[in-house]
Amino acid sequence: MRGHGPSAVGILVLLFLLLPLIGCDLSDWVPATLTGTITDARTHVGIARARVTIGEHVKYSAGSGVYTVTGLKAHRSYAIQVKADGYQPWSREIMVHGITSECNVALTPEGRSGRPTD
């Protein structure tokens, strides 16, 4: 008979609401993606084949400088490192928020301070 007892949807909603109360971190179940563009700090042109390392993940930027790292966990802090031939390495600690986060990086050419010269 229909209409008697709890529905499957109702049970799933109840479980979803109870998980944080029993110590389950929902962010462990939410896959996150970090995306961005690696550019030259002086010309603002995208840098191809820049190596982006975040946690255990290693990706390379496309010809336009765009990169995407998948398989991260939402609401977590990660160390990110970016290296490219002819540029000074760049690293920071970043927070991956929600399902998709963005981190654009401007690399300074080697031998330059990144400051404009006269």
The answer to whether 92 and 101 are in contact (CB under 8 A) is: no
pLDDT for the residue 117: 39
Give 109's DSSP letter. B
pLDDT for the residue 77: 93
pLDDT for the residue 17: 64
Helix (H, G, I), strand (E, B) or coil at 7: coil
> Cα–Cα distance between 117 and 41 in angstroms, integer?
13
pTM score of the predicted model: 0.71
pLDDT for the residue 118: 35
pLDDT for the residue 24: 58
The answer to whether 52 and 58 are in contact (CB under 8 A) is: yes
Mean pLDDT in order along the chain per 10 residues (118 residues): 64 63 60 95 97 95 96 91 97 90 96 52
Instruction: Give per-residue pLDDT as tens, 59-84.
Output: 999 999 999 999 998 888 999 999 99
| Annotated domain spans of the chain | 26-107
pLDDT for the residue 111: 81
| Phi, psi (degrees; rounded to nearest 5) at 114 | 90, -5
CA angle 104, 64, 118 (to 5 degrees): 70
Looking at the domain covering 26-107, what would its CATH class be? mainly beta
